[in-house]
Amino acid sequence: MRRVVITGLGAVTPIGNDVKSFWEGIKAGKCGIDKVTHFDASELKTQIAGEVKDFDPSVCIEKKDARKMDRYTQFAVVAATEALEDAKIDMEQEDPWRVGVITGSGIGGIDTLVEQHNALLNKGPGRVSPFFIPMMIGNMGAAQIAIKFNARGINENVVTACASSTNAIGDALRHIQYGHNDVIIAGGAEAAVNELAFAGFCSMKAMSTRNDDPQTASRPFDAERDGFVLSEGAGFVVLEELEHAKKRGAHIYCELVGYGATDDAYHITSPIPGGEGGAKAMELAIQDAGIKPQEVTYINAHGTSTKYNDSFETQAIKSVLGEAAKNVAVSSTKSMTGHLLGAAGGVEAIVCSLAISEGYIPATINYQNPDPECDLDIVPNEGREQEVTVAMSNSLGFGGHNATIVMKKYID
């Protein structure tokens, strides 16, 4: 099995449109949640979201091309471009058949779907755009990244709801380990802050209604949590076979060493009581990494700020780590970013990579009222300067999808 390292990072988030500003925001405990501005949410029970601010796709996409992309695809291309530039990979020097792209998006081009459905109803079928289908479909983020960089290796989009981009990164790990590709740009993008998605989530009663205080609405593991906050953005990493990275003198953030994926096979939205499915994904990832549970330094939890998710994930962590669970730092950066759905795992993989490379564990902000059912070291409100040798990232999605990846400090 070939070793795989992370050599590039790229992000578009509610707290920063590049990795530098995103990470500075994370370390400062910045919250990117506020009143919805993309549409009139006044008639909805939830009126807050983690919107990407001042986004300009022209930083790396020609305007004529951007007009043919849904917002989620624009996020994907911009974040992937930053990741590839950060990795300092010269595609002119690469075999394009050995460079792949694996994205994750739970919903895809729903902005385009809403816009074109309105055109159909208000103006008739002749006014539906010829670009409607290629703008809407979920694989187009991966396709546009490949087109931009002439990446001709594996190219696919994973759709496993909120686990999508963690599955994408895990699948990319396997393709490089098995020798199918040398470099894969992997991560996820989502742009679902619109009236249709909001109406659906509101009907499910899944989102926070703390409209009067958006900055404290996302409060994972807090006893007074009342639902997740919908957000948008993208997070991508460049995965690279170790010898390939060393040969070109690449900067290595960390090594990706483990991946586990399962399904609860229980319910379309609720996680299984006790978190058995998530626990098995963690167990498999730890086994795959060849480490012991007590070696895990930090867990970036799925931590959505919903009652059942946070308590069941806590139970899952305790069942896998046993006595070691009390010594592991746990945080949910969704307290700052909100929940980016299919893009969450990509963004949180960046957090883990930087936690390892910089020796810093982010906080769970808005943690004010400890929940006795969530009795872990939640890293409350302020981050910690601490060496991180092994980090684990969990993503749990509707449909019972569970995915976990394990990263560790790179040692030659």
Provide the 3-class DSSP secondary structure of residue 377. strand
Active-site residue, selected from the candidate residues 302, 352, 374, 401? 302
Distance CA 386, CA 237 (A): 23
Does residue 254 carry a catalytic annotation?
no
The two three-digit tokens of residue 52, written as one number: 């990407």
Helix (H) and strand (E) counts in the chain: 13, 14
**Residues 6+ positions from 90 with CB-CB distance below 8 Å:** none
Active-site residue, selected from the candidate residues 339, 352, 374, 401? 339
Distance CA 227, CA 19 (A): 27
Does residue 117 carry a catalytic annotation?
no
Query: Among 389, 387, 390, which Cα is nearest to 404's?
Result: 390
| Dihedral angle over CA of 195, 164, 367, 361, nearest 10 | -140
What one-character DSSP code corresponds to residue 230? B
The two three-digit tokens of residue 186, written as one number: 């992997």
The answer to whether 328 touches 321, Cβ cutoff 8 Å, is yes
Does residue 244 carry a catalytic annotation?
no
The answer to whether 2 touches 179, Cβ cutoff 8 Å, is yes
Distance CA 50, CA 32 (A): 6
Amino acid letter, residue 344:
A
The answer to whether 231 touches 16, Cβ cutoff 8 Å, is no
| Residue tagged 């976990």 (tokens) | 404
Query: Among 305, 261, 290, which Cα is nearest to 399's?
Result: 261
The two three-digit tokens of residue 319, written as one number: 């069942």
| Residue tagged 């499915």 (tokens) | 277
Active-site residue, selected from the candidate residues 162, 202, 254, 374? 162
Active centre residues (catalytic): 162, 302, 339
